[in-house]
Chain A
């Protein structure tokens, strides 16, 4: 049926998925997270420290984190200029500054075309890209952030080693 968000398996790695980390092996970890969530930032630090490779997917929930959608769209807009990983790292490095002027400043610091960035982050294309991640998470049973899948199976705890 159309329109629903019924159960579906975790989507396999897509060409435009964001693979982060050391990049030296096939990612076995998929993380659903948002940029305003402090637990997500903590997990990010852990994955970086462990030199893991992971797929990052957006899971913004606006009533919980009002700027999470805007931040996710900013990361996707940066991706259109080839700088997803840099914007991603910038957002997690300072979660207290996610308002529009902060996003423009981040784009500028990364050397992006800021006017294009600002148009892109508000575009249907970028919104659809974030929504795709969010909906795939809902269908896979994600409720909260961060949610980590390892070899396709949801981990309810954060693994002791990644």
Chain B
């Protein structure tokens, strides 16, 4: 299994927002979305990644991109994680049924019961514009890669 490729329509999926509402494919339409899949809340490497994206969030916003963190942690854990990090990036939970959305996007690591570290950028038409997956969870994608993808949009 590997991450969904550019040019593929985003799959149907359901994630839970922090207020427990559903976040589905419909929520992608009309804007550019970057889903930031990360293995676990509170793992040290994930911390640095979201902290950095938070630091340049305004610049992403200027480019018309909205970022979301996605993991298989429960909403409550994600909210505690977000609070501890001091970040504002909204978290989406793939807790139940566990990993269903991660599987749909091709980023579920079965042996670990977690998403791989991956980025998926989806355009306003619901089609994947760019994706990235780390060779292993220790590889951290710099914010520059997302800006490159945003700049490469037609």
- Interface residues of chain A, those whose CB is within 8 Å of chain B, are 1, 3-8, 61-64, 66, 134, 138-144
Number of A-B contacts (CB under 8 A): 66
Chain A residues with CB below 8 A from B62, complex form: 3
Chain B residues with CB below 8 A from A8, complex form: 144
B38-61 to A contact mask, C-beta < 8 Å, 1/0: 000000000111011011100100
Chain B residues with CB below 8 A from A4, complex form: 59, 63, 147, 150-151
Do the beta carbons of A64 and B142 come within 8 Å of each other? no
CA distance A10 to B147 in the complex (A): 16
With A4-B59, A4-B63 as contacts: A63 and B54 at CB distance below 8 Å:
yes
Do the beta carbons of A144 and B140 come within 8 Å of each other? yes
With A3-B63, A4-B63, A63-B85 as contacts: A141 and B151 at CB distance below 8 Å:
no
Q: Which of A3, A66, A144 contacts B52 (CB 8 A)?
A: A144
CA distance A63 to B147 in the complex (A): 20
- Taking the closest CB of chain A, its distance from the CB of B55, in whole angstroms, is 5
With A3-B59, A3-B63, A143-B142 as contacts: A63 and B148 at CB distance below 8 Å:
no
B137 sits at the interface (CB 8 A): no
Do the beta carbons of B86 and A63 come within 8 Å of each other? yes
Do the beta carbons of B55 and A63 come within 8 Å of each other? yes
A-B contact pairs, 19 of them (CB 8 A): A3-B59, A4-B150, A5-B59, A5-B143, A5-B147, A6-B144, A7-B142, A7-B147, A61-B54, A62-B86, A63-B87, A64-B51, A64-B86, A138-B143, A138-B144, A140-B144, A143-B52, A143-B140, A143-B143
B145 sits at the interface (CB 8 A): yes
Chain B residues with CB below 8 A from A140, complex form: 142, 144
Do the beta carbons of A61 and B144 come within 8 Å of each other? no
